Amino acid sequence: MKVLNKDELRHSIEEYLKILYRKEVSEASRMQIYQALSYSIKDVIIDQWMSTHRAFEEKDVKTVYYLSMEFLLGRALGNNIISLKLDKVVNTVLEEIGIKLEDIEEEEPDPALGNGGLGRLAACFLDSLSTLGYAAVGCGIRYKYGMFKQVIENGFQIEVPDDWLKNGYPFEMKQDDLSVIVKFGGYVRITKDELGREKYIQENYSSVRAVPYDLPIVGYGNHIVNTLRIWDAEATNHFNLDSFDKGDYQKAVEDQNLARSICEVLYPNDSHYAGKELRLKQQYFFVSASIQRAVLKYMEKHEDIHKLPEKVVFQMNDTHPSVTVAELMRILLDDYNLSWEEAWEITTHSCAYTNHTIMSEALEKWPIDLFSKLLPRIYQLIEEINRRFLMNIKVQYNGDPNKIEKMAIIYNGHIRMANLAIVGSFSVNGVAELHTDILKKQQLRDFYEMTPDKFNNKTNGITQRRFLLHGNPLLSSFVTSRIGDKWITNLQHMKNLEEFAKDPKSQREFMEIKYQNKVRLAEYIKLHNGPEIDPNSIFDVQVKRLHEYKRQLLNIMHVMYLYEELKKNPNMDIVPRTFIFGAKASAGYHRAKAIIKLINSVGDVINNDKSINNKIKVVFIENYRVSNAEMIFAAADVSEQISTASKEASGTGNMKFMLNGALTLGTLDGANVEIAEEVGVENTFIFGLTADEVIHYELHGGYNPREIYDHDMGVQSIMKHMIEGYYDPINHDAFQDIYNSLLDSYQLDRADQYFILKDFRSYVEAQRKVQEAYKDKSWWAKTAILNVANCGKFSSDRTIEEYVKDIWKLEKVTL
């Protein structure tokens, strides 16, 4: 069934309502119409999916396997409709039925199979790969519970499980016949085969069956549909009473439990490694399944395993999938009987690694005993990879113990996954120019000196299809009415908007659109436990994961400062401002959760203080995720990108704000540097220490925040109010730890590790400039339009073209 016109779509929706729910259109709930519409859309996709697959097979094109623990997809229905260019037809039919597409879209759960930026990047990359016509398979895990739903109670974050599959997910397809077995534990027995070669056989292991579920990734208007393959685990031996008699009852129960636990839940940590055994099981589970399938598929059409790198490339999104290197070696050695040299040659020409952070708490390292018990054969292989690599160091550096300390894969009782990924890959990339420079000069300096050609930069990007075309229809029409619609698939065309930046009519229209988007967000906030806010105020927005390095604390301390100034001087010259926050904190990250509580407590006091005449408001938007993010970016005037310089590898939120015409208030960190370069630093508000300065302080043991506290009465006052119950007479104990983190050194932490007090005055000054600039509406509108006009570089289409040219070497397919 292929939906083409409005009558066929209407008929299809009616049929699905009948088949699925025994309902007529007039009796159906929104949820049921969402399901019926989604199945109807899926029918159109299926045909394109199959023809794409056929074309890739016929042309025998090279495929990138993008391995990622996270894919933060956001809702599919609206985007699929846009990509298929069915929006007009769908809207007409829904109008007949008497319902709005936006309301139907609201019924779809966000498949939140990711934490934040890293997972969202993977989703943007898949969108671009399809739209650009490259063969790609996303490989991940079908978590039963994705990122938790955040509820704010009494100002505190409460985590609620996200049961995204409870009504079924219309766009997924289970592929039972493509399942594979993944083995854990046991031991390795060594025997000889008939040719006298050593064979390694894993015995007495536990196993699970990995079952793939495929989700379509629809290219924009080009009939290309790639696959996101997420794996679920099922028990291998279906439990029967037989096994009880055979004495392996215990084993059967264990396998059952293993299968149940592996895909149960996404760990809610962002840029933080917790060392949990289940997490390692998840990693090996999806990597082994994905690599086994990829090799099997290659061998269906090709004879010579040695030529695998001509047709297949594995891109590892951070170190989470870095067992790929050893798993591919295992398959080549144990299943295909290759020599070590042959297998290593193939592996190191198929694997590539993306580094996402320089922060030490994110570096994955597994204790040898845990790792070798869970993955005995993989551990043997890593030992051998390490042994041979250390021999190279011996030759090249005379066994320099410094080099061994920095670069060994196994060191101090641990396996260092980043080192495994680097040694096993032909490409290592950072995600913004500044980040890649820091990798080369600091964190990965020794590797860089040993193999400089491996290292390269790929500045992150975002898809304009979701974050402008879908998320901001008014601004999309504004742009298209002026420069045509080529920007949808080539964001560099935005440059043509520059000539309208100074045009008064365009400026007025732009500001009116921003106003409408602010009204839309204000309504959303009101509907979701938030206060009433004024769309005429400046919308100053910081939305991203809650992390100390991202410095939401700096932002809220500036709000406290403004409030206290305003209390002292009620006639102060101030442009009304709404400070908007949205952030989830990892469930075990207590200080981050205290910062959420502080933001909410400050908000409660300020929002209810009649004496300040609504001049400032503070909003914490509950449950920040892709679906409400789209609306938030569209409504933002100011984009807060205030991480401690050197800590944010790239950031992608910063790009989504720019695309929607918000002005960046930020440090020279990550991709902010490139944003300022593209739009001109005079069209941003840059403040604070530079990365070099931060690194310099760090190398010299930090700085002394007490000096600032003692001399800056503004800082001293807000710090005192924080712990004395000014913002929360009951729960202010929660803030003592925040206070201490700024002023007291602990054994492990330096005081004010993230330079909040150090950057405070510079931030206050930048905020003052924002306010002054906003008074000049024409300047603001011009600058906002210039931001949109110069965002071309930050499309994930550009990023993907660079990966293709420098790393993956894929061929473009047109249908």
Ligand X SMILES: *Cc1c(COP(=O)(O)O)cnc(C)c1O
Residues 499-558 binding ligand X (CB under 6 A) are: 544-545
Task: Write the CA distances from 773 to 510, 539, 633, 676, integer angstroms.
Answer: 17, 14, 20, 17
By CB under 6 A, is residue 643 in contact with ligand X?
no
- Using the rule CB under 6 A, give the single segment among 183-191, 398-406, 606-614, 652-660 that binds ligand X: 652-660
By CB under 6 A, is residue 653 in contact with ligand X?
yes
Identity of the residue, 589 or 808, whose beta carbon is nearer to ligand X in the bound complex: 589
By CB under 6 A, is residue 111 in contact with ligand X?
no
Identity of the residue, 117 or 603, whose beta carbon is nearer to ligand X in the bound complex: 117
Identity of the residue, 518 or 547, whose beta carbon is nearer to ligand X in the bound complex: 547
- Let me know how long the chain is: 815
- Classify the C-alpha dihedral 342-297-200-412 as positive or negative: positive
- Using the rule CB under 6 A, give the single segment among 35-43, 648-656, 747-755, 759-767 that binds ligand X: 648-656
Least gap, CB of 584 to ligand X (angstroms): 9
721-725 contact pairs (CB < 8 A, 24+): 721/560, 721/564, 722/560, 722/598
Backbone φ and ψ of 580, nearest 5°: -110, 130
Least gap, CB of 242 to ligand X (angstroms): 48
- Using the rule CB under 6 A, give the single segment among 207-215, 647-655, 760-768, 784-792 that binds ligand X: 647-655
- Using the rule CB under 6 A, give the single segment among 61-69, 112-120, 432-440, 559-567 that binds ligand X: 112-120
Which of 111, 116, 471, 792 touches ligand X by CB under 6 A?
A: 116
Q: Which residues pair with 210 in a beta bridge?
A: 180, 233
Largest CA distance in the chain: 92
Identity of the residue, 214 or 630, whose beta carbon is nearer to ligand X in the bound complex: 630
Which residues are marked as active site? 356, 544-545, 550, 652, 656
- Classify the C-alpha dihedral 546-550-553-556 as positive or negative: negative
Neighbouring residues of 418: CB distance < 8 A, sequence distance ≥ 6? 319, 322, 355, 363, 364
Task: Write the CA distances from 306 to 20, 67, 294, 311, integer angstroms.
Answer: 49, 22, 14, 11
Site string for ligand X, 180-219 (x = CB under 6 A): ----------------------------------------
Identity of the residue, 70 or 232, whose beta carbon is nearer to ligand X in the bound complex: 70
Radius of gyration over every alpha carbon of the chain, rounded to an integer in angstroms: 27
Least gap, CB of 159 to ligand X (angstroms): 16
Cβ atoms of 436 and 398 within 8 Å: the answer is no
Q: Which two tokens stand for residue 293?
A: 């399938």
Closest CA to 538 of 763, 774, 767: 774
Strand pairing of 71-72 and 206-218?
unpaired
By CB under 6 A, is residue 120 in contact with ligand X?
yes
Q: Could you give the 3-state DSSP secondary structure of residue 576?
A: coil
**Residue number, nearest CB to ligand X:** 653
Least gap, CB of 172 to ligand X (angstroms): 21
By CB under 6 A, is residue 465 in contact with ligand X?
no
Least gap, CB of 464 to ligand X (angstroms): 13
Residues 661-680 binding ligand X (CB under 6 A) are: none
By CB under 6 A, is residue 356 in contact with ligand X?
no
Least gap, CB of 108 to ligand X (angstroms): 15
Cβ atoms of 640 and 578 within 8 Å: the answer is no
Token look-up 């066994």 returns 399
Identity of the residue, 79 or 386, whose beta carbon is nearer to ligand X in the bound complex: 79
By CB under 6 A, is residue 656 in contact with ligand X?
yes
By CB under 6 A, is residue 268 in contact with ligand X?
no
Identity of the residue, 420 or 629, whose beta carbon is nearer to ligand X in the bound complex: 629
- Using the rule CB under 6 A, give the single segment among 328-336, 431-439, 612-620, 645-653 that binds ligand X: 645-653
Least gap, CB of 302 to ligand X (angstroms): 38
Least gap, CB of 115 to ligand X (angstroms): 8
Least gap, CB of 794 to ligand X (angstroms): 11
Identity of the residue, 116 or 321, whose beta carbon is nearer to ligand X in the bound complex: 116
Number of residues that bind ligand X (CB under 6 A): 12
Task: Write the CA distances from 388 to 385, 419, 677, integer angstroms.
Answer: 5, 14, 44
Neighbouring residues of 172: CB distance < 8 A, sequence distance ≥ 6? 142, 213, 214, 215, 230
Identity of the residue, 211 or 432, whose beta carbon is nearer to ligand X in the bound complex: 432
Identity of the residue, 617 or 625, whose beta carbon is nearer to ligand X in the bound complex: 625
Site string for ligand X, 621-640 (x = CB under 6 A): ----xx--x-----------
- B/e letters for 42-53, b = 16+ CB within 10 Å, e = fewer, are bbbbeebbeebe
Least gap, CB of 219 to ligand X (angstroms): 21
How far out from the chain centre does Cα 627 lie? 14
168-173 contact pairs (CB < 8 A, 24+): 168/35, 169/109, 169/111, 170/35, 170/38, 170/39, 170/42, 171/38, 171/42, 171/45, 171/76, 171/80, 171/215, 171/216, 172/142, 172/213, 172/214, 172/215, 172/230, 173/213, 173/214, 173/215
C-alpha dihedral over 443, 447, 448, 449, to 10 degrees?
A: 120
Q: Which residues pair with 234 in a beta bridge?
A: 209
Cβ atoms of 631 and 524 within 8 Å: the answer is yes
Identity of the residue, 577 or 625, whose beta carbon is nearer to ligand X in the bound complex: 625
Least gap, CB of 627 to ligand X (angstroms): 9
- Using the rule CB under 6 A, give the single segment among 6-14, 33-41, 116-124, 294-302 that binds ligand X: 116-124
How many C-beta atoms surround the C-beta of residue 770 within 10 A?
18
By CB under 6 A, is residue 117 in contact with ligand X?
yes
Q: Which positions lie near ligand X, rule CB under 6 A?
A: 116-117, 120, 544-545, 625-626, 629, 651-653, 656
